[in-house]
Amino acid sequence: MDKDRIYLSLSKESGFEQEYIQKALNSNWITSGGPNVNEFENELQSYFGKESYVAALNSGTSAIHLALILSGVKDGDEVICQSMTFSASANPILYQNAIPVFVDSEHETWNICPENLEIAIKDRILKGKKPKAIIAVHLYGTPYKVDEVHAIAEKYEIPIIEDSAEALGSRYRGKKCGDFGTFGIISFNGNKIITTSSGGVLIVNSREEKEKAIFYATQSKDKAVHYQHSELGYNYRMSNICAGIGLGQLKILEENILARRSNHLFYKEIFKGIKNAKLFDNVNEDFFSNYWLNTIVLETKVERENLRIAFENANIESRPLWKPMHLQPLFEKYPYYGNKVAENLFQKGLCLPSGSNLTNKDKIRIKEVIHNFFI
Ligand SMILES: *Cc1c(COP(=O)(O)O)cnc(C)c1O
């Protein structure tokens, strides 16, 4: 294969990262926590507004785990989780020895279905346990039905952990994703909208919760001159080097969102005339996606697989949509509420290359594969 591989989603350097990394090296802050970490948190706090407090961690997964701990989730508790997502949304439920209860998606946003969510909550209460938390996901950058989902959570007084790993820069009714829940999380893994190489943040609503999150993330050290521990701790704090990369990356956040949204327009133009594939689009103006990934739904699984292979033959990466958690060997024994919305999407759906760094040349190659396949 002579042509360079086109990936689904790659990070892009801003050029400012090196300066922050060098500062960390020069000042000997080559550890977890430190000035870059504080500055990174402050910048994100001003991005989200004054009611938001941000704790920088070593991954989005750690952020979800700490959100569960702060929600008081313990052994044997039940936690509701959107089934159609990446396993990192659900794994931390098992870290707590808690029980995941999976809920299907709805057709418009592909995220947690409000009707099935309420059915699940009522049934779990009837069976003797009120769920301790709800994990809702803004999949591929598209906000879930925030008003409906949060109204249900409020009615039953259950905290929401908003998995905004893929949705930095997305908005619902003008308000930024990551900032709706009792807890919000964002990932800065290498494939996300911006990266710290590996990292994440937990967004909370008070200084006390932020301090508690950092306490757990730094081995739960009690106030004492010696090492004293009365609670279980974790090594989850973001490193000062990673935060330096994050500070450099924040400078191109808006640029990356624009690039991803322009990828969406590129695909919109291509799929306009193709009947056998439907490009995912936001239903109305309440939903503003960063279009982290562009996705299509084909008519059959066979067709989806054939298109995926056609891309592969051109050295272009594409992938089926997330396989729902209730179908995963690890999770299939846990309760599930829904129909077959997520299952159907998984069968027929495909993620398309959507990186912030897609070039015009890349786009020509992608377009050629699609045209040859459909026309
Ligand atoms: C990437 C991702 C995570 C996990 O983030 P990491 O930083 O990789 O731990 C969680 N949820 C979703 C939906 C993700 O896409």
pLDDT in tens, 191-243: 999 999 999 999 999 999 999 999 999 999 999 999 999 999 999 999 999 99
pLDDT in tens, 41-59: 999 999 999 889 999 999 9
Examine the residue annotation and report whether 361 is marked as an active-site residue of this protein: no
Q: How many degrees, rounded to 5, is the angle at CA 290 between CA 61 and CA 94?
A: 20
Residue whose CA is closest, atom 5 of ligand 1?
60
**Residues near ligand 1 with C-beta < 6 Å?**
59-61, 85-86, 88-89, 137, 163, 165-166, 187, 189, 200
Taking the CA of residue 88 as reference, the ligand 1 atom at the shortest distance is 10
Does the structural domain 253-374 have CATH classification 3.30.1150.10? no
- State mean pLDDT over 112-122: 98
pTM of this prediction?
A: 0.97
Taking the CA of residue 191 as reference, the ligand 1 atom at the shortest distance is 1
Q: What residues have CB less than 8 Å from 186, skipping those under 6 apart?
A: 60, 63, 164, 165, 167, 168, 178, 200, 201, 203
Q: Decide: helix, strand or coil at residue 294.
A: strand
Tell me what pLDDT residue 7 has.
97
Q: Is the pLDDT of residue 375 over 90?
A: no
d(CA 214, CA 278): 44
Residue whose CA is closest, atom 2 of ligand 1?
165
As a CATH number, domain 17-250 is 3.40.640.10
Tell me what pLDDT residue 50 has.
81
Output the six-digit token pair for 32. 């977890």
Residue whose CA is closest, atom 14 of ligand 1?
165
- State mean pLDDT over 165-186: 97
Q: Which helix (H) or strand (E) holds 369?
A: helix 360-374
Tell me what pLDDT residue 319 has.
97
Q: pLDDT class for 181, splitting at 50, 70, 90?
A: confident
* Distance (Å) from CA 243 to ligand 1 centroid: 17
d(CA 330, CA 281): 31
Tell me what pLDDT residue 64 has.
98
Range 277-286 contact pairs with CB under 8 angstroms and sequence separation of 24 or more: 277/307, 277/374, 280/110, 280/140, 280/142, 282/109, 282/142, 283/108, 283/109, 286/172, 286/173
Taking the CA of residue 85 as reference, the ligand 1 atom at the shortest distance is 13
User: CA-CA-CA-CA torsion for 353, 44, 254, 368, nearest 10 degrees?
Assistant: 0
Q: Is the pLDDT of residue 1 over 60?
A: no
| Average pLDDT score, the chain | 97
Q: Decide: helix, strand or coil at residue 135.
A: strand
The preferred substitution site among 187, 289, 292 for testing ligand 1, maximizing ligand atoms within 8 Å of CB, is 187
- For the chain, give every residue range classified as CATH 3.90.1150.10: 253-374
Taking the CA of residue 63 as reference, the ligand 1 atom at the shortest distance is 9
- State mean pLDDT over 131-147: 98
* Distance (Å) from CA 247 to ligand 1 centroid: 20
* Distance (Å) from CA 227 to ligand 1 centroid: 32
The number of angstroms, rounded, from the C-alpha of 122 to the middle of its chain's C-alpha atoms is 27
Tell me what pLDDT residue 3 has.
83
Q: Is the pLDDT of residue 2 over 80?
A: no
* Distance (Å) from CA 90 to ligand 1 centroid: 10
DSSP letter assigned to residue 103: E
* Distance (Å) from CA 127 to ligand 1 centroid: 31
Q: Is the pLDDT of residue 177 over 70?
A: yes
- Quickly list DSSP for 175-204: EETTSSSSEEEEE--TTSSS--SS-EEEEE
Residue 278's closest CA among 354, 365, 374, 372?
374
- For the chain, give every residue range classified as CATH 3.40.640.10: 17-250
Q: Which residue out of 145, 192, 210, 348 is catalytically annotated? A: 192
* Distance (Å) from CA 60 to ligand 1 centroid: 5
d(CA 90, CA 161): 11
Output the six-digit token pair for 56. 């920088």
The preferred substitution site among 109, 189, 203, 322 for testing ligand 1, maximizing ligand atoms within 8 Å of CB, is 189
* Distance (Å) from CA 360 to ligand 1 centroid: 29
pLDDT in tens, 62-87: 999 999 999 999 999 999 999 999 99
Taking the CA of residue 199 as reference, the ligand 1 atom at the shortest distance is 7
